[in-house]
């Protein structure tokens, strides 16, 4: 039984590889602060939090919740052209969370670290009315002098996206409405995967614009438009998505696809020859281009004509 904080720290320190097997010259859980050693002079840092009944529900399973809490940060690093080194974990707990739930949560976090990189080096535990998991991530760039930034899009650049768009939101819809089928979509929602391979290849080709796709294609593309002060045109038919989603969404298919969140893919924007070179190395989907500079705008086209579709990505303030 885990009856207090000391027993909890002792348990996780002994039980999970990503905590137990740190590099020899690192200091992890057990002191007032952690110490890490990196070969890079440049550090990439991000943080993400998940709150019960806002970002997750218990019926998703605590192993999935732990996995996603790490992967959401790993995906932010991938979206910047970086790889993970270490994570700190702050948990808000209450008596409704039992020992089995807690162990499953850490199994999920540990599995994500072991599969995609990074060690769990410390954190905090606090009492909270709502259960929450707040992760801070430390990473290093794949190349010290190159990152994927939202502000680097230029006129005539090509816009591409890794993977299929809309699957995670469809999986969430299926789970919330207790429907059957769409197993791939449910799995992508519960166990997403960060796109480090695609990020690394883009960096190696000299591509410098991109971001993690997690709040919806329309919202994230508009962020790039604003940061780069450009206009982007997207051809809806070129967005890669599972054909079965048309049966699920019917009349508002493109609206749902363009505004669906939690895909954890990467938007990659670069010169035509570089995007082509990337597409020769791996599957990416070219969905549009940067058409104007000094003008912030996002345009969607269908059948080569501008179209208005209802769009609503995820917003933490709503």
147 in Cβ contact with 44 (< 8 Å): yes
Compute the distance between CA of residue 77 and CA of residue 286 in angstroms, rounded to an integer. 22
* CATH class held by domain 5-141: alpha beta
Model confidence pLDDT, tens digit, residues 239-287: 999 988 988 887 789 999 999 899 999 999 999 999 999 999 999 999 9
DSSP string, 236-298: GGGS---TTHHHHHGGGHHHHHHH-----EEEEEE-HHHHHHHHHHS-EEEEEEEEEES--EE
Compute the distance between CA of residue 211 and CA of residue 189 in angstroms, rounded to an integer. 19
pLDDT band at residue 317 using 50, 70 and 90 as cut-offs: very low
pLDDT band at residue 1 using 50, 70 and 90 as cut-offs: low
Is the model's pLDDT at 311 over the cut of 80? no
Compute the distance between CA of residue 189 and CA of residue 260 in angstroms, rounded to an integer. 11
CB neighbours of 177 closer than 8 A, spacing ≥ 6?
Answer: none
Compute the distance between CA of residue 297 and CA of residue 317 in angstroms, rounded to an integer. 23
Model confidence pLDDT, tens digit, residues 66-117: 999 999 999 999 999 999 999 999 999 999 999 999 999 999 999 999 999 9
Compute the distance between CA of residue 206 and CA of residue 81 in angstroms, rounded to an integer. 11
Q: Quick check: helix, strand or coil at residue 225?
A: helix
Model confidence pLDDT, tens digit, residues 224-239: 999 999 999 999 999 9
Is the model's pLDDT at 316 over the cut of 80? no
Q: In terms of pLDDT, which residue wins out, 183 or 6?
A: 183
Is the model's pLDDT at 202 over the cut of 80? yes
Please compute the mean of the pLDDT values over residues 156-175 and round it to a whole number.
96
- For the chain, give the mean pLDDT: 94
Q: What ranges do the domains of the chain cover? A: 5-141, 150-306
Q: Which CATH number fits domain 150-306: 3.40.710.10, 3.90.650.10, 3.20.20.70, 3.40.50.1360?
A: 3.90.650.10
pTM, two decimal places: 0.94
């Amino acid at each position: 039984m885990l009856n207090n904080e000391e027993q909890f720290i002792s348990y996780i320190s002994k039980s999970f590889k990503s905590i137990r097997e740190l590099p020899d010259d690192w200091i992890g859980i057990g002191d007032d602060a952690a110490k890490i050693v990196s070969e890079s002079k440049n550090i990439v840092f991000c943080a993400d939090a998940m709150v019960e009944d806002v970002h997750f529900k218990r019926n998703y399973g605590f192993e999935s919740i732990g996995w996603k809490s790490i992967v959401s940060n790993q995906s932010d690093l991938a979206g910047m052209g970086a790889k993970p080194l270490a994570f700190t974990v702050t948990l808000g707990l209450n008596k409704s969370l039992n020992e089995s739930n807690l162990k499953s949560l850490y199994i999920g976090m540990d599995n994500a670290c072991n599969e995609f990189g990074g060690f769990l080096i410390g954190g905090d535990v606090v009492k909270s009315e709502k259960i929450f998991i707040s992760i801070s991530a430390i990473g290093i760039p794949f190349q010290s002098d190159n990152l994927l930034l939202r502000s680097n899009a230029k006129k005539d650049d090509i816009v591409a996206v890794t993977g299929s768009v809309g699957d995670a939101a469809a999986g969430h819809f299926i789970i919330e409405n207790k429907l059957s089928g769409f197993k791939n979509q449910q799995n992508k929602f519960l166990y997403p995967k960060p796109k480090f391979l695609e990020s690394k290849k883009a960096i190696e080709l000299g591509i410098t614009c991109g971001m993690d796709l997690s709040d919806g294609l329309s919202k994230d593309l508009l962020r790039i438009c604003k940061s780069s002060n450009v206009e982007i045109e997207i051809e809806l038919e070129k967005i890669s998505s599972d054909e079965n989603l048309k049966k699920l969404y019917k009349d508002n298919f493109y609206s749902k696809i363009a505004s669906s969140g939690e895909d954890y893919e990467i938007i990659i924007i670069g010169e035509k020859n570089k995007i082509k070179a990337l597409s020769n190395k791996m599957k990416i989907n070219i969905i549009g281009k940067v058409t104007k500079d000094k003008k912030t705008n996002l345009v969607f086209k269908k059948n080569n004509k501008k179209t208005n579709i209802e769009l609503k990505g995820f917003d933490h303030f709503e």
